Chains A and B, each alone.
Chain A
Amino acid sequence: MQLETQPISPQADSGRLWKRFKKQKMLHLFVGLGMVFLVIFSYTPMFGILMAFKDYSISSGIKGIFTSDWVGLKYFDEFVHDYQFGKIVRNTLVLSFLKVIFAFPAPILLAIMLNEVKNMAFKRFVQTVSYLPHFISWVVVVGVSYAFLSADVGVVNKALMSLGFIREPLNILTGPNYFWGLAVGSAIWKEMGWWTIIFLAAITGINPALYEAAEIDGAGRLARIRHITLPGMKGTIVVVLVLTIGSILGGGLVGSNFEQAYLFGNSINNPTSEIVQTYAFKVGLRDGRFSYAAAIDLIQSVISVVLIFSSNFIAKRMSGSSLF
């Protein structure tokens, strides 16, 4: 049997190419299988975006996507003039930005604190307990929040009232004033410990000699955090930030906006909880206005792509590290 030890160059002659293809036929089969799934799951629905520019009705089935009449930007125009447009766009943007501002730095701070802990048992314990909430579903989180925050039977309201901070119970779960705080707070509660794993790993990768040298030079704990730990985490922070900003409209990395807005949402807090995705779901899958919903969805997808490319570009320019 002949061994292929020479590196394979792209300009290999056709005979060798064929031989390699035959040798790697299993790899091609793997790829083929995977591609079938990728094409069906992710790429085919992209053609469906056409319907945002057409008058599609579900009765015409799949081929209706191609045969129905073009209407240009009619549905985009309709969305902009929708009486709920202002509310929905504001809620989506506010919720997304609040999450980046508050939920993104939280695990970085926790990771820095954990790194300074010398007692390994305590460190492990804090880490394990704090990432436990990541593993439960938003459905359960909402169920649990009822026991804590509900106006009539919630523990928090009971405690605040008996301590005399409030006279009337707060309608945290239903009041429109509380929804953003509720969403951001529960996102931090659920995901902070989880993302700490990644940042802590980044810190572990820092050369310990740097810390020793800094200590000899007389740098205190805070100085070491500022001049060694933070710069050492920079690459990871940038990558996670780019990912967060790219998916910001969907909720970033700390829990999907859709799940939160749908499960915590109700008719009373609707003025602050209705977001683009819940609205698209309601008008699309529930009311059957597919073209309209596809148009609404498309706006969000396009903005997300623009966000991820621009944040990546800026990150590359400013810090030298980037996602791609």
Chain B
Amino acid sequence: MASTAAVPFWRSAGMTYITYSNICANLVRNCLKEPYKSEAINREKVHFSVSKWTDGKPEKPTIRSDTPE
């Protein structure tokens, strides 16, 4: 199961370790029985708004929400 390449397959596809572990955690949470499943899903909701700055000027903020990726 572990690849023998110098970089794991997910890193060569552009993912960071954090993205990888989040996807894994999500998949495991989806396979839980109720009520643990809804408890876990409710616990891990994502919502925030991020705005990049260039040269002292902010760009329009983008909202990332409810897709715990």
Do A and B come together as binding partners?
no
Q: Which residues of B contact A (CB under 8 A)?
A: none
Q: Which residues of A contact B (CB under 8 A)?
A: none
